[in-house]
Structure formats: structure tokens, C-alpha cells
Amino acid sequence: MELGTPEQPLRVAIIGSGPSGFYAADALTARNATVTAHVDIFDRLPTPFGLVRGGVAPDHQKIKSVTKVYEKVANRDNVRFFGHVNYGSDLSLSDLQQHYHAVLFAVGSASDKKLGIPGEDLPGSHAATEFVGWYNGHPDYRKLSFNLEAESVAIIGIGNVAMDVTRILARTQEELLATDIADYALEALANSKVRRIYVLGRRGPAQAAFTNPEIKELGEMPGADIIVTPEEAEPDPLSAAYLGGPGADRKDIKNVEILREYAARTPEGKPVQIIMRFLTSPVEIIGEDRVEAIKIVKNELYQAESGELRPRATKETETIPVQLIFRSVGYRGIPLPDVPFYDFQGTIPNDRGRVLVEQGSDQVVSGMYVAGWIKRGPTGIIGTNKPDAVETVNMLLEDVSAGAVWSPDAPTPEAIPALLESRGVRYVTWEDWVRLDGSETERGIALGRPRLKYTTIEDMLTALEGTRSPSGD
Ligand SMILES: Cc1cc2nc3c(=O)[nH]c(=O)nc-3n(C[C@H](O)[C@H](O)[C@H](O)COP(=O)(O)OP(=O)(O)OC[C@H]3O[C@@H](n4cnc5c(N)ncnc54)[C@H](O)[C@@H]3O)c2cc1C
Ligand SMILES: NC(=O)c1ccc[n+]([C@@H]2O[C@H](COP(=O)([O-])OP(=O)(O)OC[C@H]3O[C@@H](n4cnc5c(N)ncnc54)[C@H](OP(=O)(O)O)[C@@H]3O)[C@@H](O)[C@H]2O)c1
């Protein structure tokens, strides 16, 4: 019998229900797909959608509506969702090999990159990853607390995550009430004493990683002035040459224009000041037993062999008193049991989505695929994951044609729910999630908010008590 036909459907396990997991499921099961495939999507959380729920800023609700696309995929007859199932403890690689023809890891990048400077781990110095998870009600982070008694905060890094963190710290209570920010975060931020937010970029305005809408939004905050000095808003000679040349990116040109306009503004005296600093790197986080200040060094840019403009420290340093620090210098993947890992990049080594035994090798691990941030590293917006997942699925389908996938002993749909039940794993079905989603929305509407999230796994499972369907279908 040929694999990928109605008589013998291709069975694929997708680990992770973020954008890349859903785009991969879509590519495998769409009506115009070239094979008949049955897909089971697993997530360690009872809730789907990865960073769309737990990362995308709560004041960017429109972006979250991308989940409508994923809901359509989940509602297909040949797609199932098993939430609250952790690959590595509830399910192993050998379980998957017994029940599927292939596995596709789409687990994202849950950890953070380190700066490697003294004082980085002092209380009061946090990865942005933690703050983002906390304000978004991610169960892993909800118990954390942040010193919002701080008057001055430093955010290290000038990517879009840094922009999110800055906005959330600078939003008024009224603005936050219109979001689905976690209830405890709403309360903590209502009592925030934060008045100055320093946003520190190691390179210049022309190399900023933030995008135009995000930096524009910081200039339109009802409760915050944005401050940048004309000297720091002005590109250095190397950047000016780049901006005037044929290869300049529109985004960079526009970012510089926006920042110049900010430099020309007179602050209105709003309660919070957002102070953008460029060409500065942190060298030390200072404090006895908690963060008291950050020492930064002035950088200059030089042209690396690759042509890129890189930062280089000068001798000029400065110490800024701050009581809270968020390190927003990028996310990082974490290794999974029985899956190769490329530690240098924090990714799973792969060739266009086919997992490799190690980075640089040309030997693939049969039946194992990867998509999204854990495939290419923690960059790119939600939409970037679509072509990325399609590329992986194309490799998988090539391997199906070549007979190079697994030959499972028990490729039946019933086997997996039976296995999970036998292990006492309380998995959450798509129907369960629909109920939970409805309940969160109702709770939110009652308060005039888009949603009131459940933020512990226990509360999620309790809310589902008595409503759970007996099988995974
Ligand atoms: C703070 C932040 C804000 C962002 N805001 C935007 C935005 O506004 N607009 C935009 O376009 N892009 C935004 N992005 C980028 C976007 O979120 C990512 O491109 C996208 O989420 C990556 O998708 P992914 O599927 O690879 O990973 P993720 O979204 O991280 O999904 C991974 C999933 O895998 C699950 N998982 C992990 N380990 C296991 C395991 N062992 N077993 C089972 N399941 C597991 C996780 O629970 C998670 O659900 C943002 C990113 C961040 C960090
Ligand atoms: N609204 C949105 O669309 C949205 C929102 C959030 C996130 N995202 C996307 O999610 C992805 C991840 O975002 P991100 O902000 O985490 O990463 P990012 O865009 O890669 O930005 C990381 C920032 O950290 C800086 N950095 C790295 N190492 C540093 C160091 N040692 N010292 C000082 N600064 C350092 C980088 O500077 P250099 O440039 O000099 O390396 C850069 O400014 C991005 O693709 C982003 O666009 C999108």
C-alpha cells in the first residue's frame, strides 16, 4: 500500500503549536496537499499558539487575530490537538517512532541569550523573556516578580521585543485595561513607580533592529515622552555613507528619519521618559545585593570584513543609576531529549528542515524534521514561519516519496490517546481549548477587556472539569 493515500495516510506528529507548527500542519493537510496526511499537534501547554499567546504584546491585539487562520487548520478532520503533553516527559522519541511516520519539531526558542558581563545575575536584572512571559500570563513565568518600585529602568537591546517591553512599562493603566495583559501584571503595573526608561542600542540608529511602526508607536504614547539627543540620532560617517548608497534598506532610512524627528521635539512633561541611547554597550551591572546602576561604554562603528558595521568600545564610560534591568538581546532554543542540538546557535541542526546528526554534517536523521525558530534561530515575524514550514514539509514529502521515513508498528489514530491515558497524562483536546477560550473571553467581556487569561495550568484544567471529551478526537 502506498504511503500518503486514503488507504494508508501519512501520520505526522508536530511538536509545538506556535505559528510554525500550525503552518506545517496546514501545508500537510490543506485540500490541495499532494498526500493524504493525518497530523497530531502536541504542545506542552494546555493552550495553543506559542508566542502568539505568550509573546506578542497584549497591546497588539490585532496581530493576535492570526490565530483565526490556525483555528481553521485545527478544525480539519485530519488534524488533532493534544495540549498539556510535553515531548521529553509525557512522550518520547521511541513513542513517536511507534505511532508516526515522521516527527516535526516546532518548539521555538524558550530561553534567552546571555550578555556575559559582571552583575548580569544580580536581583533586578532579568531577561526580557521572563517579563514578556509574566505580563502575558505564561504559566512558567507567572510567579515571578519585578521591582516596579524602580524609578529608572534600563532595557538592553533595540529589537522589537525591547520596543514591546518599553511600551508595556510606559503604558497608562487605562491603555492596559483595553488589553488581555495578565490580571496580576495589570495590578502590579498600576502601582509602578517607573519614570525613566533607558533603551540602550550597541550600534547606531541606522542599524537598529526595531521596525518603523514599532519605533513610531513609542513616539505616540499618551503617558510618555521620547527623548533622543540630536548627536545620537545623527548617523556616524560610515552609516551616513551606507544610508546614501544604493544598498540602503528603506527600514533603516525611515528609522533614522523618525529618530531625527524625535531629537527635534521638546518633551511635553509626560509622566514617563523613554530615553533612547545609541552606540552604547553595557559593561557591568553594579549593585551590592541588587541592581543599583549600569555601566556603559561608548562605542564606535567599524566596517567588518563582511561589510557589516560592527560596534567597538572606546575608552569613554558612563554609569547610569537604574534599579531594574531587562536584557532584550535575543531568545535561544533549548535542547530536547534524543534530538541533535547545535549549541552555538541554540538550534536543531538541519538542512532545509531535515534534521542532521550534527551541524555541518550531511547525514540526516531519518523521520525527523524541524521548523520555525528552533530551525533557523529566533528571528522573523509570524509570517516568516509560513514559507519556512512549507520548505520543511516539502523535504518531508520528498522523503515520503523516496520511502525514507519511519515504518511505525502502530500507526492508528487511537493508539496515541490510549498511550497518554495509560500514562495518566491529562491531555487537552481542541474542543477543550475552544471551551477554555470561550471562558477566558467571557471573563474578559464581563470586565470590558478582550480576554481574562487563566495563568496556571491548574486553573486551566479546573476550568475544564466536567467538560472534557473522552477521546482525543
Ligand atoms: C516577545 C515577542 C513578541 C513578538 N511579537 C510579534 C509580533 O507582534 N508580530 C509578529 O509578526 N511576530 C512577533 N514575534 C515573532 C513570532 O512570535 C515568532 O516568529 C513565532 O512565534 C515563532 O514561531 P514558532 O512556532 O517557531 O515558535 P513559538 O511561537 O515559540 O511556538 C513554540 C511552541 O512549542 C511548544 N513547545 C516547546 N517545547 C515543547 C515540548 N518539549 N513539548 C511540546 N511542546 C513544546 C511551546 O509551548 C510553544 O507553544 C514576537 C516574538 C516575541 C519573542
Ligand atoms: N511587532 C513585531 O512585529 C515584533 C515584536 C517582537 C518581536 N518581533 C520579532 O521577533 C524577533 C526577535 O526579536 P528580538 O528583539 O528578541 O531580537 P532582535 O531583533 O534580534 O534584536 C536583538 C537586539 O539585541 C541587540 N544585542 C544582541 N546582543 C547584544 C549584546 N551583547 N549587547 C547589546 N545588545 C545586543 C541587537 O543588537 P545588534 O543589532 O547590534 O546585534 C538587537 O538590537 C525579531 O525578528 C523581531 O522582529 C516582532
Over 70: is that where the pLDDT of 27 sits? Answer: yes
Ligand 2 centroid to 275 CA: how many Å?
18
pLDDT of residue 471: 46
Interacting residues of 317 by C-beta distance below 8 A, sequence separation 6+: 283, 295, 296, 297, 298
pLDDT of residue 312: 97
* Rounded average pLDDT over 458-467: 87
| pLDDT one-digit tens code per residue, 417-462 | 999 999 999 999 999 999 999 999 999 999 999 999 999 999 999 9
Interacting residues of 205 by C-beta distance below 8 A, sequence separation 6+: 232, 233, 234, 235, 239, 255, 256, 259, 278
For residues 413-448, b (16+ Cβ closer than 10 Å) or e, as one string?
A: bebbbebbeeeebbbbbbebbebbeebbeebbeeee
Pocket lining: 111 vs ligand 2, CB cutoff 6 Å:
no
Pocket lining: 457 vs ligand 1, CB cutoff 6 Å:
no
Over 60: is that where the pLDDT of 151 sits? Answer: yes
pLDDT of residue 32: 84
Given the candidates 3.40.50.150, 3.40.50.720, 3.30.590.10, 3.40.190.10, the CATH classification of the domain at 10-110+333-428 is 3.40.50.720
Q: Which residues pair with 293 in a beta bridge?
A: 286, 321
| pLDDT one-digit tens code per residue, 51-93 | 999 999 999 999 999 999 999 999 999 999 999 999 999 999 9
* CA-proximal residue: ligand 2, atom 37 (nearest): 157
Distance CA 234, CA 5 (A): 61
Distance CA 390, CA 81 (A): 20
* CA-proximal residue: ligand 1, atom 23 (nearest): 19
Ligand nearest to the CA of 48: 1
Pocket lining: 127 vs ligand 2, CB cutoff 6 Å:
no
Given the candidates 3.40.50.450, 3.40.50.11540, 3.30.565.10, 3.50.50.60, the CATH classification of the domain at 114-329 is 3.50.50.60
Pocket lining: 328 vs ligand 1, CB cutoff 6 Å:
no
Q: Are 349 and 388 within 8 A, CB to CB?
A: no
In this structure, the strands spanning 331-332 and 79-83 are unpaired
Helix/strand/coil percentages in the chain, nearest 5: 35, 20, 45
Q: Which residues pair with 28 in a beta bridge?
A: none
Ligand 2 centroid to 329 CA: how many Å?
6
| pLDDT one-digit tens code per residue, 162-179 | 999 999 999 999 999 999
| pLDDT one-digit tens code per residue, 220-239 | 999 999 999 999 999 999 99
| pLDDT one-digit tens code per residue, 189-215 | 999 999 999 999 999 999 999 999 999
Pocket lining: 154 vs ligand 2, CB cutoff 6 Å:
no
Over 80: is that where the pLDDT of 406 sits? Answer: yes
* CA-proximal residue: ligand 1, atom 21 (nearest): 51
Distances, alpha carbon 84 to alpha carbons 39, 91, 136, 427, 458, in Å: 17, 11, 18, 5, 11
Over 80: is that where the pLDDT of 114 sits? Answer: yes
Distance CA 15, CA 121 (A): 32
Q: Which atom of ligand 1 is nearest to the CA of 66?
A: 11
Q: Are 163 and 328 within 8 A, CB to CB?
A: no
pLDDT of residue 31: 82
Residues of the chain with CATH 3.40.50.720: 10-110+333-428
Q: Are 210 and 167 within 8 A, CB to CB?
A: no
pLDDT of residue 465: 87
pLDDT of residue 34: 87
* The pTM of the whole model exceeds 0.75: yes
Over 80: is that where the pLDDT of 469 sits? Answer: no
Helix/strand/coil (H/E/C) assignment for every residue in 450-473: CCCCCCCHHHHHHHHCCCCCCCCC
Residues of the chain with CATH 3.50.50.60: 114-329
Q: Which atom of ligand 1 is nearest to the CA of 161?
A: 1
Q: Which residues pair with 312 in a beta bridge?
A: 300
How many alpha carbons lie under 13 Å from residue 51 in its C-beta half-sphere? 26
Q: How many residues does the chain have?
A: 473
Pocket lining: 372 vs ligand 2, CB cutoff 6 Å:
no
Q: Which atom of ligand 2 is nearest to the CA of 380?
A: 45
Q: Around Cβ 33, how many Cβ atoms within 10 Å?
A: 16
Pocket lining: 356 vs ligand 1, CB cutoff 6 Å:
no
DSSP string, 323-355: SEEEE-S-EE----TTS--BTTTTB--EETTEE
Confidence at 142, pLDDT banded by 50, 70, 90? very high
Element (H, E) at 271: none
